[in-house]
Every structure is written in C-alpha cells, then in structure tokens.
C-alpha cells in the first residue's frame, strides 16, 4: 500500500479553504474613507486597542473608545455587564450584531482583537488595517 504526503492547510476560524492550498481570510477591513464617515453612523463602534500611554502621545480617532488589547476579552465578554460598560465608556455595550471596528498603531493588534471578538461570538467585527499610522498621515497628525 502506497501512502502520499498530503498537505492540509491550517484554516483560521474566520477563513475558508478556496481549493488546493489557498486560504481566503474572511476578515473584513475598513478604509480611511469609511472611518472618516463614522460620525454619521453612531451605531457603529470604533475601538482603539492601544495602551492609554500611546493615546496620550498621539491622540485618537474621533468617536473611538479605548479598550487596550489585553482588556478586550473581559470588556467585550458577553457576560460583562452592560451597565458597567456604559459607565466605563459612555457608550452602550455592543451586541453580537453591532458593527465593531478595531484599530491600533499599524493594524496587528487590531487584527488580534478582531479574531478574538469572532471567538467571543460577535458577528460583525472589522479591522481598520491602516490604523493610526494611516489616519495620522492622511490627517496631518503626529504618528
């Protein structure tokens, strides 16, 4: 009996196998232009996952709230109290269907937050891949 070595690609939870060895990432990304429009869409939630010290040094994107990456699992847990969330962030806690957009400095931590929220049960999470660096460049701000 002859056996062949078969390569099985690792598929992330939010990706699909497109055939052969191709894997398509289903993460949704938003653009700078979409972020600029957020003040017109208050139901969407923009979350900065950088550390507070980073925000002090650079500022933040308007309408965003700050939940450092290491706190995302706790604060966005489905078990975390809506009242506590509102007290901490002056915003209603997102539901599993709320559009949540994450950003950080360059897009890596925001991707981690996006992946984590999929695992927590959120269905409409996105990553602003350009994150603060793109925003600051296009807005003429300190990077």
Asked if residues 110 and 131 have their Cβ atoms less than 8 Å apart, the reply is: yes
Q: Does residue 56 sit in helix, strand or coil?
A: helix
Residue 65 lies in a domain: yes
Q: Is 14 inside any structural domain?
A: no
Rounded to an integer, the average pLDDT of 60-76 is 97
Report whether 110 contacts 125 (CB < 8 A). no
Q: What is the mean pLDDT of residues 64-93?
A: 97
- Of 104, 113, 117, 125, the catalytic one is 104
Band of residue 113 on the pLDDT scale cut at 50, 70, 90: very high
Range of the domain at 87: 26-139
Domain count, the chain: 1
Residue 3 in any domain: the answer is: no
Is 104 noted as a catalytic residue in this protein? yes
Q: So what's the pLDDT on residue 143? A: 75
Tell me what pLDDT residue 17 has.
42
Residue 137 pLDDT:
95
CATH number at residue 129: 3.40.250.10
**17, two tokens:** 């196998």
Q: 26: pLDDT confidence band, cut at 50, 70 and 90?
A: low
Phi, psi of 105 (to 5 degrees): -85, -50
| Residue at 114 is within a domain | yes
Instruction: Please give the pLDDT value at position 27.
Output: 67
Give domain status of residue 68, yes or no. yes
Residue 99 counted as domain residue: yes
- Burial class of residue 114 (count of CB atoms within 10 Å of its CB; 0-12, 13-18, 19+): buried
Helix (H, G, I), strand (E, B) or coil at 46: strand
Q: Does the pLDDT of residue 69 top 90, yes or no?
A: yes
Q: Is there a domain that residue 93 lies in?
A: yes
Query: How does the average pLDDT of the chain come out, rounded?
Result: 86
| Domain presence at residue 8 | no
Select the more confidently predicted residue: 2 or 69: 69
pLDDT of 127 higher than 80 = yes
Q: Pairing state of beta strands 22-25 and 15-19?
A: antiparallel
């Amino acid at each position: 009996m002859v056996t062949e070595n078969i390569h099985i690609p690792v598929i992330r939870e939010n990706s699909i196998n497109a055939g052969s060895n191709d894997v398509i990432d289903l993460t949704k990304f938003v653009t700078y232009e979409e972020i600029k429009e957020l003040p017109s869409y208050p139901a969407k939630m923009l979350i900065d996952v950088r550390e507070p010290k980073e925000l002090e040094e650079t500022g933040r994107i308007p309408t965003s709230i700050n939940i450092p990456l290491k706190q995302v699992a706790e604060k966005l847990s489905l078990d975390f109290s809506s009242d506590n969330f509102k007290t901490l962030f002056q915003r209603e806690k997102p539901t599993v269907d709320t559009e949540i957009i994450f950003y950080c400095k360059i897009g890596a931590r925001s991707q981690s937050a996006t992946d984590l929220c999929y695992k927590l049960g959120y269905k409409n999470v996105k990553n602003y891949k350009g994150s603060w660096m793109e925003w600051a460049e296009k807005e003429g701000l300190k990077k």
